[in-house]
Structure 1
Amino acid sequence: MTLLPRNKLKTETQPEDSRGNKLFPVFLKLENLQTVVVGGGNVGLEKLNALLQNSPLATVKVISKAFLPDIHVMAVTYPNIRIVQKSFADTDLDGADLVIAATNDANLNKYIRQSAHDHKLLINVADKPELCDFYLSSIVQKGDLKLAISTNGKSPTIAKRLKEVLNDALPAELDTTLQQMNAIRNGLSGNFAYKVKELNRVSAVLVNGPKPPDKKYLTLLVWGTFVAFLSITILALWYKEPEFQFYVRSINPAFYYFLGAGFVFAMIDGAIGMSYGVTSTTFSLSMGIPPASASMGVHLSEIMSNGIAGWMHYRMGNVNWKLFKLLLIPGIIGAVSGAYLLSSLEHYSQYTKPVVSLYTLILGGVILLKAIRLNRKQHTQKKIKRIGLLGLGGGFIDAVGGGGWGSIVLSSLIAGGRHPRFSLGTVKLSRFFIALMSSLTFITMLNGAHWEAVAGLIIGSALASPVAAKISNKISAKAIMFSVSFIVILISLRSIINFLIKII
């Protein structure tokens, strides 16, 4: 390894170039070098972990007067790690190639740096960018593919966050692609121009991305499903609801209230990605609609609105298809089960209504907390692994309470570190099929419903859906979330208090 001469090393007196990152990236074969780490505490352990995670065969000598137990364990696990329990001396750098100063003593770190430079060695000093000749990067690795991220020592936190984003965005299968590309490269014959042409043809998929499902077939699936559902609904209404025939001649004034409400609630849902179910259910209960009928009205209206919104998100490339498949079937099972249970208790609506109001009260509190924490720095939770269980629970609670799919599923996905835009698009599209199945369950179970409310919500939300999908990232959500939460909480409390007054 050729190192810089002493007068070429960066010193504290040299000005920092503020016009961008001028660092030269390089990947070292640490198994062929001798690395010295000075420090056996938490900082030394962190540096040692960084070295061994990337180069398990690295040859490292760790020098310190005391060591954490974890470092002793690492010395046993990795045979190329050698622990030397003593105070640092200049002679400890004899034969070294790289030095890392990781003590909590600033003066000692400066002394180690000077000693390293006297030996013409490059050194990294923990948490002191101005004393470093090189930085340890945040690393994203997918098999043989390795990406190093540097912020020029300005913000390790930014580097860490970028690492998390890239690690999530780059699929593990990319290493398989790399191996296949290497095999193709080694198997190509012909002149250089031919090899370049063939490699460009094969690697085009990396530039253009994986081919999404054929738009023609997805269009047929969505609209075919909708037409089939509409046909079943009309037949069910024709045979079970004689008064449905008279709605053509006379429209209940309540229709217009629900039409406006459906439009407003769908716009709010498009802006913040949640709350349509809870706001629509709260409004319906306040207008005297029983819980099961209220939930049916919400889910019937969400079929068209979520179908349109899901289609818009699909056209904008906002759907994670793997996540969609994991959510869909468990979500449908949970929604159908919840709809069946709530419909079975429709005759006891005077008792189920305060229970649902309590649920909407809780959801209102959840939305309020999210509004308060919206601009605060929050630690990302571990990514949720049991997506099916999340979909099952979200679908069930959504059907029973008339809403909550967005508040539960979308919030959990985003809190678990998934990309907000792709999570929103995926949840919207899966919601179409879940609302469809729960609505069919409600229609077959209920003998009567408030169709003026259902029709108003359906048309109002459908009118708002194409616009709502496009404004999802153009409106400040905080004020809307505060307003929604206060309205939901107040109306839910009113319903609960009225129930308590009646029984007292």
Structure 2
Amino acid sequence: MRTLILLALAGLGAQLVDGSLGMAYGVTSTTLLLAVGTNPAAASATVHLAEIGTTLVSGASHWRFGNVDWRVVAKIGVPGAIGAFAGATVLSSLSTAVAEPAMSLILLALGLYLLGRFTFVGFSSRNLGKPLRKRFLSPLGLVAGFVDATGGGGWGPVGTPAILASGRLEPRKVIGSIDTSEFLVTVAASIGFLAGLGSEGVNWTWAGALLLGGVIAAPLAAWLVRHVPPRILGSAVGGIIVLTNTKTLLGSDWIGAGGAVSTTVYVVLYAVWAAALAYSVREHRRNAAREREEEAAAAAGTDVKEGAPSA
């Protein structure tokens, strides 16, 4: 029962982050399942089955708040589903000894990307309003879907930053469109896992617990997307993912690091993570203060111009 409660809380927290950032539900949940000893393919299958429900509710919630561009959903979702089915088939055929460190390596790379992306890089709006072309979205969806299935997450970490970096779609619609199209990806990945593993390879109770937490959080996350600082959340989640998967890799047959080496690595990683969080908070406050000053200056300029004729 304790495990189910923890999974439900993890699903709730992961969906809050995912719905606000457009990423990290799968990566966060899969990392947790691997940490408690779940088979990599079964972990990814369990998470994707839970995501069928969470992405459906999340997509509906984002649509309700006007956060979805359906043209983007169509152009990226179908290729994403194809890539996810292929990725699920590949992962299902790998042995646990090979799959666990391989998946942790993928998750570690995604975690490092999240940590760096949201700590140091802001959003560009120079190209806002320009159309997103199919020749860009289709390959992106194919790669993101494959990584999502093989890594237990990756649709958002690959897709969201790539579209944000283009600057052609406002952040809230990037997040809403990625979350909505993820429904197609999770359905395709789940079909692939069930075909490769069979229903006995999935922990249905754990999937239900993750689903319950995610469904509760989805509407709130869609509302919070306009209010939560993505920079700080991204740094926090990226650090957690890096730490957890580093632990898995250090203890695997690939590395087999001793206690002293592991301790040193953890101390360094915690220090880097703390510094990244502090930097994210500082930069967020600095940018917010700068925006307030610019708005105040613009308002003052408007007042002067409006008052000039009557002077």
The TM-score range, normalised by the shorter chain, is 0.7 to 0.9
* Aligned mate of 2:172, from 416, 421, 430: 421
- The alpha carbon displacement at 1:318 in A equals 2.3
Contact 2:22 / 2:176 at 8 angstroms: preserved in 1?
A: no
SS at match of 1:386: helix
Separation in 2, partners of 1:312, 1:379: 28
Separation in 1, partners of 2:153, 2:233: 18
The unaligned stretches of length 5 or more in structure 2 are 259-311
Separation in 2, partners of 1:411, 1:356: 21
CA RMSD of aligned residues (A): 2.3
Give the TM-score normalised by structure 2: 0.75
Q: Which position in structure 2 is the counterpart of 1:460?
A: 213
Q: Which position in structure 2 is the counterpart of 1:48?
A: none
Offset from partner CA, 1:159-207 (integer Å, 9 cap, x none)? xxxxxxxxxxxxxxxxxxxxxxxxxxxxxxxxxxxxxxxxxxxxxxxxx
Which has the bigger relative contact order, CA under 8 A and spacing at least 6? Answer: 2
Contact 1:254 / 1:452 at 8 angstroms: preserved in 2?
A: no
* Aligned mate of 1:391, from 141, 161, 164: 141
- The alpha carbon displacement at 1:379 in A equals 7.6
- The alpha carbon displacement at 1:438 in A equals 1.1
Q: Which structure 2 residues correspond to residues 360-379 of structure 1 after superposition, within 5 A?
A: 360-375=107-122
* Aligned mate of 1:263, from 5, 8, 12: 12
Q: Which structure 2 residues correspond to residues 31-430 of structure 1 after superposition, within 5 A?
A: 252-345=1-94, 348-375=95-122, 385-419=135-169, 420-430=171-181
Separation in 2, partners of 1:336, 1:306: 17
Q: Which position in structure 2 is the counterpart of 1:490?
A: 243
Contact 1:289 / 1:450 at 8 angstroms: preserved in 2?
A: no
Give the TM-score normalised by structure 1: 0.47
Question: Are the structure 2 counterparts of residues 370 and 378 from structure 1 closer, same or farther at C-alpha, using a change threshold of 3 Å?
Answer: farther
The unaligned stretches of length 5 or more in structure 1 are 1-251
Contact 1:260 / 1:460 at 8 angstroms: preserved in 2?
A: yes
Offset from partner CA, 1:228-252 (integer Å, 9 cap, x none)? xxxxxxxxxxxxxxxxxxxxxxxx5
- The alpha carbon displacement at 1:292 in A equals 0.8
Offset from partner CA, 1:98-145 (integer Å, 9 cap, x none)? xxxxxxxxxxxxxxxxxxxxxxxxxxxxxxxxxxxxxxxxxxxxxxxx
Q: Which position in structure 2 is the counterpart of 1:480?
A: 233
- Counterpart amino acid of 2:214? S
Separation in 1, partners of 2:96, 2:82: 24
Offset from partner CA, 1:324-379 (integer Å, 9 cap, x none)? 2211221111111111111122xx11221011101111111111111222448798
How many pairs align? 251
Is residue 449 from structure 1 mapped to residue 202 from structure 2 by the alignment? yes
Separation in 2, partners of 1:393, 1:297: 21
Q: Counting helix residues as a fraction of each chain, which structure ranks higher?
A: 2
Report the identity percentage. Answer: 34
Separation in 2, partners of 1:376, 1:441: 35
- Counterpart amino acid of 2:230? A
- Counterpart amino acid of 1:360? L
Separation in 2, partners of 1:294, 1:377: 35
Question: Are the structure 2 counterparts of residues 376 and 319 from structure 1 closer, same or farther at C-alpha, using a change threshold of 3 Å?
Answer: closer
Q: Greater Rg, structure 1 or structure 2?
A: 1
- The alpha carbon displacement at 1:279 in A equals 0.9
Separation in 1, partners of 2:143, 2:73: 16
Q: Which structure 2 residues correspond to residues 19-38 of structure 1 after superposition, within 5 A?
A: none
Offset from partner CA, 1:413-470 (integer Å, 9 cap, x none)? 1111221222222111111121112112212321422333222111111111111111
Separation in 2, partners of 1:325, 1:476: 28
- The alpha carbon displacement at 1:313 in A equals 1.6
Contact 1:263 / 1:461 at 8 angstroms: preserved in 2?
A: yes
Separation in 2, partners of 1:325, 1:488: 30
